[in-house]
Amino acid sequence: MLKMLDTESGLASEVNALRNPRRLKAITSELGWRIYQELAKAAASPVDLSRKLKIHEQKVYYHINQLRKAELIKLVKTEERQGATTKFYAARPEALVVMHENMESHKFKPDTGNVPETLKDFISSGKANFKIVVGSPDPHGQYKARGSDSCCAIDLALFLGSFTNTVSAANYKLDTEMRENDYKQNLIVVGGPKANTVTAALNGMLKVQMDESDEWNIVSKLSRKSYGEDDHGFIAIVKNPWDESKKVIVFAGRRFPGTRATVIAFVKHFEEITKGNKYDPRSSTKVVKGIDYDGDGVVDDVEFLE
C-alpha cells in the first residue's frame, strides 16, 4: 500500500498499487467492477449486494471471492443474521494506481532548491532539521489527557518531506519522550496544551494561546478576541525559548478538528501563513477555523480569522 499526495488539497490518500496484471482481472469484468464500486462507497454483504444489484447471489459470491484474492477488498465485520454469520466487505484503498515496470525511472524528486524562506531553519540542504512532537496516546501530564492529534502530523510530514531528499526514522517524538537536549532543536509541535506537554510549556509565551480553564478557548493578545469552537485552531512560528538560535512551529486546535484545520491551513495555504497576523504582520501567528465544504463531517479547508 502506498500514500498518494493530492497536489490540489495537499493531503494524503492511501492507494493500492497494482503491479501484477493478474490482479486486474478481478475488476475487468463489468460485474466485478460494479461490485468493487459499491464496496468503495460502503461496506456490504454479498446478500445485500445481490439485492441491490438484482443479481443472483452465487454470481456476487464469485466476484467477491475474486476481489478478495486480488487483495482489492477486505473483510471489515461480521454480523449474525437468522442464525448464520454474514460477512461484510469493503474496498481496501481510497484509490487504485497501476504501476508499470519503468516506474523506478520516474521517482519523485523533492524540490530541495525551492524551500520557502519560512522553512529554511527547518530544512537545510535537502535534510530535515527538526523534530515533530506529538502528544502521547496514554494519559499523561497535568490533565491526564490522551493525545489524539498525532495523525494530523502525517499530512504535515508529507508536505515537509516534499522539500527533503533523505528519510530518517528519528524525526518525531512523543511529548513524554522529550529530554533536555531534545528541546534545543527546531521543533514542530502538534496538539493543544491539554494533550501535548511541550505545547503546555510554550503556551504562556505565545501571542495567541489557550486559556487553560474549563473552556480551553483560544485567546489572542493581538486582536483581544476569544475563539471557542471545536474547529478553531492556531499556528505560531516563534523562537525556541530553550535555544533562541532555533525555531518552533506550534499547531494547536481547541479540539481535534481545530488541530486538523491548522495543518490543512499550512499545507494548502502556505503563502497566507507567511503573511503574518492581520492585527500585527510582524507576528507569524495565524488563527483559523475549519470548514467542512462537502458536508461529510470532516474538516477539509479553512477560513483565516486572523
Determine the average pLDDT of the residues in 80-92. 88
Q: What is the pLDDT of residues 219-252, one digit of tens each?
A: 999 999 999 999 999 999 999 999 999 999 999 9
Query: Residue 289: how many CA atoms within 13 Å on its side-chain side?
Result: 11
DSSP state, 118? Answer: G
Q: Is the pLDDT of residue 13 over 90?
A: no
In the prediction, which pLDDT does 167 show? 59
Which of 109-113, 237-241, 259-263 comes out lowest in average pLDDT?
109-113
Those residues with Cβ within 8 angstroms of residue 16's Cβ, 6 or more apart along the chain or in another chain: 1, 2, 71, 72, 92, 93, 95, 96, 97
Please provide the DSSP assignment of 218-251 as one string.
EEETTT--EE-STTEEEEEEEE-TT-TTSEEEEE
In the prediction, which pLDDT does 23 show? 73
List of domains in the chain: 2-97 (1.10.10.10), 109-304 (3.30.379.10)
In the prediction, which pLDDT does 182 show? 94
By CB neighbour count within 10 A (0-12 exposed, 13-18 middle, 19+ buried), where does 304 fall? Answer: middle
Q: What is the pLDDT of residues 54-65, one digit of tens each?
A: 999 999 999 999
Q: What is the pLDDT of residues 152-199, one digit of tens each?
A: 888 888 888 888 876 555 688 999 999 999 999 999 999 999 999 999
C-alpha distance from residue 172 to each of 82, 240, 296 (Å):
50, 17, 30
Phi, psi (5° rounding) for residue 127?
-115, 140
